[in-house]
């Protein structure tokens, strides 16, 4: 077994454990600044470090979280005690990952569609990130649903980018998170979302096959099949679970070890209930878990408010949220367990 395969196997075995998920703490500076400003928290390098240190030093976090996706800024930072974040995570039996795409750009000659940049120099950056302690990576592509989108061109271009990124990751012994996000900002129905999701995932796995990506060593991070926010017909958790699993069974090979969903604008409670509904369905060949950002962090950020006096309370509420999603990843969550998980 060559060193790259050995590294891939070690990492995927850790991240695909039943009952554990991934914390997405890789918000760009612009994104986390917006979230901080909404709560009156100044966004500086130090406040961003303090916030992420609060999350990652939460006692017993490794009971429910196997990996944390970092933004490059965080990977290069040290904690208040002078420890690198990747080393802090490793000491707590949590793996460090890294967001490696360079964000979205307009896809020319389309109607407001986007592609993802960052393939240039990726091989060199991955070598640097691995030396700093990262063992997995993330690349995000996005798709908007309208009457005419996503276009076939956008679906193929984004699939190709995801596959090229995944191949480069595996050549460096880094497990790729493949993230095709279908946005839920429009008024589409759950049926329309199912149709688009099937097209997108089919294209993604066709591209992964063409680029000879080893499916045993990837993490799929898809959207759930759900109605748009502006749709009047709101799907139940049972509908979301049923429709999502139906499309996954049509498109995702059983060789993929774990599917860790993004929450994509859902509330904390919705994301947990929907994940649980999937895990109540029998016969899934993959581990179905979470890779949430806001759906894990939202209440803890609102509790923390940038004040060190609130760290313990914020960590408590963050751990409770992680625990509830761990239960959902095994089909053991109920809404009655939601007590004391949101700030007063």
Q: Which positions are catalytic? A: 179, 221
Give yes or no for a contact between 176 and 216, defined as CB atoms under 8 angstroms apart: no
Residue 306, phi then psi, degrees to nearest 5: 80, 10
How far apart, in whole angstroms, are the C-alpha atoms of residue 177 and residue 265?
19
If residue 97 lies in a helix (H) or strand (E), which one and from where to where?
strand 95-99
- pLDDT of 344: 47
- pLDDT above 70 covers a percentage of the chain that reads 98
- pLDDT of 343: 54
Domains of the chain from N-terminus onward: 3-338 (3.20.20.70)
- pLDDT of 339: 77
Taking all residues of the chain, what is their mean pLDDT, rounded to a whole number? 96
Ranges in the chain, pLDDT < 50: 344
- pLDDT of 2: 86
The tokens describing 273, both together, are 């209930």
| 291-324 confidence digits (pLDDT tens) | 999 999 999 999 999 999 999 999 999 999 999 9
Instruction: Give 258-317 as a DSSP string.
Output: EEEE--TT--HHHHHHHHHHHHTSTT-SSEEEEEESHHHHHHHHHHHTT-GGGHHHHHHH
- pLDDT of 190: 97
């Amino acid at each position: 077994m060559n060193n790259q395969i050995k590294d891939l196997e070690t990492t995927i075995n850790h991240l695909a454990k039943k009952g554990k998920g991934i914390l997405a703490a890789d918000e760009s500076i612009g994104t986390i600044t917006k979230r901080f400003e909404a709560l009156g928290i100044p966004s500086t390098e130090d406040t961003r470090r303090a916030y992420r240190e609060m999350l990652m030093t939460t006692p017993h976090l490794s009971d429910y979280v196997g990996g944390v996706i970092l933004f490059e800024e965080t990977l290069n930072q040290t904690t208040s005690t002078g420890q690198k974040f990747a080393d802090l995570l490793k000491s707590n039996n949590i793996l460090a990952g890294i967001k490696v795409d360079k964000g979205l750009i307009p896809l020319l000659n389309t109607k407001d569609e986007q592609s993802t940049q960052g393939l240039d120099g990726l091989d060199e950056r991955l070598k640097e990130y691995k030396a700093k302690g990262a063992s997995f990576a993330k690349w995000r592509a996005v798709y908007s649903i309208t009457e005419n989108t996503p276009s076939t061109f956008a679906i193929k271009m984004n699939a190709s980018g995801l596959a090229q990124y995944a191949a480069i990751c595996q050549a460096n012994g880094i497990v790729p998170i493949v993230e095709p996000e279908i946005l839920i900002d429009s008024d589409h129905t759950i049926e329309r979302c199912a149709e688009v999701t099937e097209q997108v995932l089919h294209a993604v796995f066709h591209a992964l096959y063409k680029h000879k990506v080893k499916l045993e060593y990837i993490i799929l991070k898809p959207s759930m099949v759900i109605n748009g926010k502006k749709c009047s017909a709101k799907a139940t958790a049972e509908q979301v679970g049923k429709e999502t699993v139906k499309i996954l069974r049509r498109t995702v090979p059983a060789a993929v070890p774990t599917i860790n969903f993004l929450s994509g604008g859902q509330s904390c409670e919705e994301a947990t209930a929907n994940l649980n509904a999937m895990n109540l369905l029998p016969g899934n060949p993959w581990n179905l878990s979470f890779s949430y950002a806001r759906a894990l962090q939202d209440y803890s950020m609102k509790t923390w408010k940038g004040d060190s006096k609130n760290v313990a309370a914020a960590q408590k509420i963050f751990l409770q949220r992680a625990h509830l999603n761990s239960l959902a990843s095994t089909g053991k969550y109920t809404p009655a367990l939601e007590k004391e998980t949101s700030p007063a």
